[in-house]
Amino acid sequence: MYHYKACGLDNVYLKNGYEEKNTPSGKSIAIHDIDGLHKAIGKGIANKEAALTPQEFRFLRGELDLSQKALGMLLDRTDQMVAKWEKGETKILVLADKAIRDLYMESIGEGPISNLLQRLAQLDRKNRELTLQLEETATGWLSESSAA
């Protein structure tokens, strides 16, 4: 297994999905689908039960492409406070932990708001696509529904 440290986390190991290459300057590693890998890492972090570690917090912030200042503004904190959380100098606030997880899941389209919007869009499509065809028979009106 390959110990993938480039993401800034100490606990990520790849069973496959990479190639070792020999180059004139030494051995190098080529990761397949790095975006997919980082998404899988992010989902794993965002869905874990335990509190985020400073490194996990920093990873999610990086995946969100937010500076410490921008995240601090979103959380009504200073960039210095965010830096202290990421260095492990100050405990990450529970609300900040929850917020960054939710922001990450929303960013990949799998958060509670994204899921709700997707379900609403599906309902809306189903309602628009439904066509009622009515026929009067000897026993009364009969309806048939069909997709438009």
- pLDDT given for residue 125 in this prediction: 67
- pLDDT given for residue 146 in this prediction: 53
The residues facing 3 across adjacent strands are 13
Q: What is the pTM of this model?
A: 0.76
Structure tokens at 86: 């990421």
| Nearest-angstrom CA–CA distance, 124 and 118 | 10
Is-contact 3 55, C-beta < 8 A?
no
Q: Please name which of 42, 52, 118, 54 lies closest in space to residue 85, comparing C-alpha atoms.
A: 54
- pLDDT given for residue 72 in this prediction: 96
Give 10-residue mean pLDDT values along the chain (148 residues).
95 95 92 95 97 98 96 96 98 97 93 79 67 83 67
Question: Domains in the chain, please, with CATH?
Answer: 34-110 (1.10.3100.10)
Contacts of 134 (CB under 8 A, 6+ apart): 141, 142, 143, 144
